[in-house]
Chains A and B, each alone.
Chain A
Amino acid sequence: MMSIGMEHFLVLSAVLFGIGLIGVLVRRNVLVILMSIELMLNSANLTLVSFARYMGDLSGQVFAFFVMVIAACEVAVGLAIIISLFRNKDTVDVDRINIMKW
């Protein structure tokens, strides 16, 4: 337990990913869902960086950098969508947003 190997970081990232997944599946508030998605993205970043460290290749960190940029874009657009939804349906309850069906 004393010497921290790659697997520690990987397990941490897996746990964060799982928590984020549960959040996406279980919460009703759209904003919290979006936050959970951010959590999942972070865990992926964590994996990338730990691989970068333990495999000796800095590309992992560069990749993580890119992911962060994309996450930022995604949040912006996602929040814009949520605003638009809120304006139309006056709710952020995912159960009430049920028009994506036949």
Chain B
Amino acid sequence: MFHEELGQAITQNWIALILIFPLMGFLINGIAALFLPQKYPRSVSNLVSCLVIALSLLVTAYGFWSLNRVSPEAYFSQKVFTWISVGDFSVSFGLQFDHLSAIMCIVVTLVGLLIHIYATGYMAHDPGYARFFTYMNLFMFMMLILVLADNLLLMFVGWEGVGLCSYLLIGFWYEDWDKAKAGLKAFIVNRVGDFGFLLGIFTLFWAIHTLEFSGMRNWISENHFQFAGMTLFGIKVATLAGIFLFIGACGKSAQIPLYVWLPDAMAGPTPVSALIHAATMVTAGVYMIGRLSFVYVHSEVALAVVAVIGALTALYAGTIGLTQTDIKRVLAYSTVSQLGYMFLAMGSMAFAAGIFHLFTHAFFKALLFLSAGSVIVAFHHKEQDIMKMGGLSKYLPWTFRTVFIAFLAIIGIPPFAGFWSKDEILFKAFATSNQVLVKYHLSFFLWLIGLTGALLTAVYMTRWMILTFWGTSRVDEETKHHLKESPNSMLIPLGLLALGSAFVGFLGVPEFFGGHNWFEKFLEPSFAKALPGPELSLFGRGEYVEAILVVMSVAMAGLGILLAYAVYLRKPGMADELAQRYRAFYQLSFNKYYVDEIYDRLIVSPLIRISYYFLFRFFDMGVIDGVIINGTAKLNQWLGKVLRRLQNGVVQTYLFFFVSGLLIIILFLGAIHPAHLALNKGYGATIIYILKTLWENLI
């Protein structure tokens, strides 16, 4: 590692506007939803929610344009107000708009805007309209805080905030207990991850004493060797912090072992699935690693962990997605899988590649989800099982055309977006500069896993397309008559996203193909510099290696398509045959490897039981209610009962106490205390002395 050229911060006061617009949308919609639920017209709600996002987008675009006009190392910052100031520790509500934040903001606001517009059509008949857009705007606000924060604590605020909105939106139709449970599950699993995140924050603060990203980066770059040598509990600080923070990322970005909430989260409305669980919230973990790249480069062990878990998740989720039958659940597992790819990239120190995949994935995954939503709307929200669909390309032509583009993108067919980003990842994984991965020959295995994952992606996505849109229709006649295309409010965003999925990839075409990889260069100042990868060469030319890798991944995609075609389209019934023959694998895959059941048996039920019997019955009811609260009352009662006997109405009794008090005062103030002081003895000795004197005086 070498000393980095760190950029200068330029103060700009418009950054907060990006946040303020969604906040205003939240407030306006929220107050209207609370106080005039019936009379708030949908058109106003639409206008307000979409307009604020559009305004945010405009400011972001302006910021983006301005960034390009200053030096590559410079970035914009704005301290809105000082939030905490205690002793010499202070945290401010500070925003930074650097290259990485700019990209993230564009993703969030652009895709967010399109999804908001889509949602005006999707949620058109829902009674909780205003509440929905309130939560959506709040989510945008929180997500933007997350990506714009200039310190770890504020980022955590956004992190928690999006978790909250995720809960609110997943459990949007809370009257259905299963849906509400899904929301709870999401929040609770997230919280488990957040515990790790907090530990990471503490570790970093302990080591560096500041939580601001620029401050941390400066300190590390100046105290390079000291930071490299710092350990805590025998483990290098960078590794410890890296792993803790990654645990948080596993929770938020649904990696093993904390991914279990994402498939259940499909209980929420489709725009929510698209926005939160595809394009933005789940990518927060990836962003976090990118933002803290300057810490992670000091711990290749942590990065290796990230990469391994990412790759394994990618493969694992793919195997589950093969057998799922709910139209959104397949996409959910696909999201988990693609997120695994992003983490694989980050772990292989290809930070820009990971963010690039995040970028392209936002487009085509959102598009896939929105198309699924289009299908759901066509079935009037009554059917989501793809086994009961088929041949929908006839009935929903525009939906089909757009989703087809997304399909090509996610599989990795050139020249669509997914191809460029996924390939970049696979190449960087193969040729990683992460010494830990290289030392244990993991780089090759991870690449192999990634390649297999690409195959699986192709298979299950083709299966999904076939079962939903192609082939013979399994829809019953009654419903067929009602199938019609979605309204324009939904189709236009689909179209725009399709354009994105098609062309956005060109932003990151690597030199090998003749492009100049604008994306990677743009993000360069935001990340720590890593050492260059190993020199690969085949037949004397390094480019041949990359060529072969590309060919292999495209071939895998094609193979996947063919396999799925063969099984699902060519010979109907073959799928069931295969499921029968390989029953064990099928059951495992269909039941998600029984992970939810295992978690329930090992963790959730024991916790509930402990909570109920120990915490509730014993401690809360027994100790707190019984001993402390009731006990105090009973003590008072008893004391009262005893002391009541003093006041018996007989004046002589009162006189007795009167005289006793008098005696004590005479003795102590008059006799014992002065004597005790004069004689310098204790009280007891003084009393004895006085008694003796009395005795002597009387005799």
Query: Which B residue's beta carbon lies closest to that of A24?
Result: B655
Bound CA span A25–B656, Å: 6
The total of chain A residues at the interface (CB under 8 A) is 12
Question: What A residues does B656 contact at CB under 8 A?
Answer: 25
Counting CB contacts under 8 A, is A3 at the interface? no
Evaluate contact between A101 and B647: CB separation under 8 angstroms: yes
CB neighbours (8 Å) of A21 from chain B are 659
Cross-chain contact B652 with A94 (CB below 8 angstroms): yes
A residues near B659, Cβ cutoff 8 Å:
21, 25
> A59-102: which have CB < 8 Å to B?
94-95, 97-102
Residues of B within 8 A of A101 (CB): 647-649
Minimum CB–CB distance from A30 to chain B (whole Å) comes to: 10
> How many A-B residue contacts, CB cutoff 8 Å?
26
A44-69 vs B, Cβ < 8 Å mask (1 yes, 0 no):
00000000000000000000000000
Give the docked Cα–Cα distance between A97 and B651 (Å). Answer: 8
Q: Is B642 an interface residue (CB 8 A)?
A: no
Check if A100 sits within 8 Å of B655, measured CB to CB. Answer: no
Are B655 and A98 in contact (CB-based, < 8 A)?
Answer: no
- The answer to whether B598 has its CB under 8 Å from any CB of chain A is no
CA distance A100 to B651 in the complex (A): 8
CB distance from B389 to the nearest CB of A (A): 82
Q: Within 8 Å of chain A (Cβ to Cβ): is B602? A: no
Of the four ranges (under 10, 10 to 19, 20 to 34, 35 or more), the interface on chain B belongs to under 10
Do the beta carbons of A100 and B652 come within 8 Å of each other?
A: no
Per the 8 Å Cβ criterion, residues 643-665 of B in contact with A are: 647-652, 655-656, 659
Smallest beta-carbon distance B641→chain A, Å: 14
When C-beta atoms are compared, the residue in chain A nearest to B656 turns out to be A25
Nearest B-chain residue to A95, judged by Cβ: B650
- Are A25 and B647 in contact, CB atoms less than 8 angstroms apart? no
Interface residues of B in 636-690 (CB under 8 A from A): 647-652, 655-656, 659
Among the listed A24, A25, A33, A99, which residue makes an inter-chain contact with B649, where contact means beta carbons less than 8 Å apart?
A: A99
Cα separation A25 to B658 with both chains bound (whole Å): 10
Report which of B647, B651, B652, B655 forms a contact with A102, defined as CB distance below 8 A.
B647
Measured CB to CB, the closest approach of chain A to B663, in angstroms, equals 10
Q: Which residue of A lies closest to B649 (CB)?
A: A98
| Neighbouring B residues of A102 by C-beta, 8 Å | 647
Chain B residues in 8 Å Cβ range of A94: 650-652
Q: How far is the CA of A68 from the CA of B96 in the complex (A)?
A: 96
B650, A25: Cβ atoms under 8 Å?
no
Q: How far is the CB of A1 from the nearest CB of chain B, in Å? A: 13
Q: What is the CB-to-nearest-CB distance from A44 to chain B, in angstroms, rounded to a whole number?
A: 16
- Contact between chains at B652 and A25 (CB < 8 Å): yes
Report the Cα distance A92→B650, complex, angstroms: 12
A33 to B651, CA, bound (A): 11
Contacts from A to B (Cβ < 8 Å): 21, 24-25, 33, 94-95, 97-102
By a beta-carbon cutoff of 8 Å, the part of chain B in contact with chain A is 647-652, 655-656, 659
A–B complex contacts, Cβ < 8 Å, 9 sampled: A24-B652, A25-B656, A94-B650, A98-B648, A98-B649, A98-B650, A99-B649, A100-B651, A101-B648
Task: In the A-B complex, list the 4 residue pairs whose CB atoms are closest, starting with the nearest.
Answer: A98-B649, A101-B649, A101-B647, A98-B650
> A21-B659, A95-B652 known; 13 other A-B pairs, CB under 8 Å?
A24-B655, A25-B652, A25-B655, A94-B650, A97-B649, A98-B649, A99-B649, A100-B649, A100-B651, A101-B647, A101-B648, A101-B649, A102-B647
